[in-house]
Chains A and B, each alone.
Chain A
Amino acid sequence: MGGSIAAIGMGIAAIGAGIGVGTIGGKALEAIARQPEAVGDIRANMILTAALVEGAALLAIMFSYLVA
């Protein structure tokens, strides 16, 4: 039972990260479409922000794994 609840927690964490990374990617593409010359800066910041969002999801997944 504990395992399945942890799995639900992992799923929720994945949804959160998905929304976050999706928003970042979408906005970055919009920004690149508007200013193609700034693609380098936008890409670096996009990856940085996506990594930070992912960090929160990873923490959640690790904790749910440890609890399981």
Chain B
Amino acid sequence: MKLKLYFLLIILALGAKIHAQNADNQHYHDLAQQHDDHSGHSHEGHNHDGHDHSGHDHAAPAATSEPNVAPAAHSEQEAHGEFDAKETAFHHISDLNVYSIGPWNFPLPCILYAPDQGWSFFSSSKFGIDDHHHGSGHYAYDRYVLNMGRVMRVTDPTFPMGKVEIGGFGSEEKEMNGKKKSVDLVSFQGRMLPLDKASTADGGLFDGGITSFYDFSISKNVLAMLLVMALLAWVFFSMARHYKKAPGTAPVGAQKLFEPIILFLQDEVAKPFIGPKYTQYMPLLLSLFFFVLGLNLFGQIPFLGGANVTGNLAVTMVLAVLVFIVVNLKGNRHYWQHILWMPGVPAGVKTIITPIEILGIFIKPVTLMLRLFANITAGHIVIIIFISLIFIFGKSGENVGAASGAAVGSILLTLFMMTIELLVAFIQAYVFTLLTASYIGAATEEHHDHGHEDAHH
């Protein structure tokens, strides 16, 4: 059973990565049609809608030089202008194609695919990352550019392939379908060309979404996941070796730390919630717990990039989908009976209860997904906002006195929040495991004590 645990751990961790990309794919398939429509409009450049950026794509150069900030002016403004706390926070919690620690940017491998130009494999150092800014590239490579650490694609088909120098980045507000949207722009040979958003699997919640290219890169989050996976595999395999070599002896080394945790999960989570058949679910529960806990804690190590992996909707979605599959595959006759045709309830009430119960099947994993995501993301955002207070009070360096005063307060607040977040890391990993166990328990429970006829075999 122990050996199974370690295998499952690795499969789960690998699966999280692969499935995140698969989820990406599925999103693409679902929305391919919709997107095709959209991009079709913008590439053909017919003026079907005055607000679409189609005009921007193909119109004469005169039209493209509309009141946009010049690239130089824009970067100037970025460096010394109003400090945007919201944008900073979102930048720090999003997945990036470059790993930034302090002022250094470490390039990561980019694996990109666009249907109309095929696969591109290259290191993000090809973008010529700027060490002073937030990882924006000086070069475009195969029509891909690195804007604030995220790979975006130039939609203009006349843009040259290969390595091309670019001027800088900007953005403008566009009115599309009655909603204001910010379109990122890149300066190239004096023209401002629109960029496609970064490719993300979280439904575009944090300024990405379903775009014209697929990003399979070893991004910051994937690298963090691989590191945590390697660490967990190393710890658990070495522990397993010792258990095999000297069974029944006192725990040594890492065993002293992990044995009580595993016993706690077995005795306080699995046994009471799942019942006598708990052993077959222990690998799943322990893998979920240590994977989530490891990533929660890894994201909180200061000055190590703060990879927000469990605060990424795609990752928590994969974990929730795994739980959804296990619960519904293992769900017994009583589970489905109580959902589809609740026994012991009048027929009229059944017609109301059944739709609610069917919705409940999906709401359970959705809340599982959102809870972990929202708690971890909220923690990261709060810490970033506290740090941002320094720059807000100091007006981006104009007022040194206020900045120093705010620094003292914000460091104390940040330390306090990080202590709370340490607690949250454990609680959320525990809650995820606990709820998984309770959902499995509810689906596999034998109803011998309810008293209605069909509950008895």
Residues of A within 8 A of B (CB): 40-41, 44, 47-48, 51-52, 54-56, 58-59, 61-62, 65-66
Q: Which of A51, A59, A61 contacts B434 (CB 8 A)?
A: A51
Say whether chain A's binding surface is mostly helix, strand, loop, or mixed: helix
Tell me how many residue pairs across A and B have CB atoms closer than 8 Å: 37
B393 to chain A, nearest CB (A): 23
Say whether chain B's binding surface is mostly helix, strand, loop, or mixed: helix
Query: Given contacts A61-B374, A62-B374, are A51 and B268 in contact (CB under 8 A)?
Result: no
Q: Across the A-B interface, give the 5 residue pairs with the lowest CB-CB distance, nearest first.
A: A55-B367, A58-B370, A51-B431, A58-B374, A62-B370
Residues of B within 8 A of A (CB): 205, 268-269, 272, 363, 366-367, 370-371, 374, 427, 430-431, 434-435, 438
Contacts of A52 in B (CB 8 A): 367
Contacts of A56 in B (CB 8 A): 367
Q: Which of A41, A51, A61 contacts B435 (CB 8 A)?
A: A51
B435 touches A59 (CB 8 A): no
B186 to chain A, nearest CB (A): 28
Residue of B nearest to A44 (CB): B268
Give the CA-CA distance A40 to B434 in the complex, in Å: 14
Contacts of B427 in A (CB 8 A): 47
Contacts of B268 in A (CB 8 A): 40, 44
B367 touches A48 (CB 8 A): no
Contacts of B205 in A (CB 8 A): 65-66
A47 touches B367 (CB 8 A): no
B370 touches A44 (CB 8 A): no
Q: Which of B272, B367, B430, B431 contacts A59 (CB 8 A)?
A: B367
Contacts of B371 in A (CB 8 A): 51, 54-55, 58
Give the CA-CA distance A33 to B438 in the complex, in Å: 26
Give the CA-CA distance A66 to B269 in the complex, in Å: 34
A44 touches B434 (CB 8 A): yes
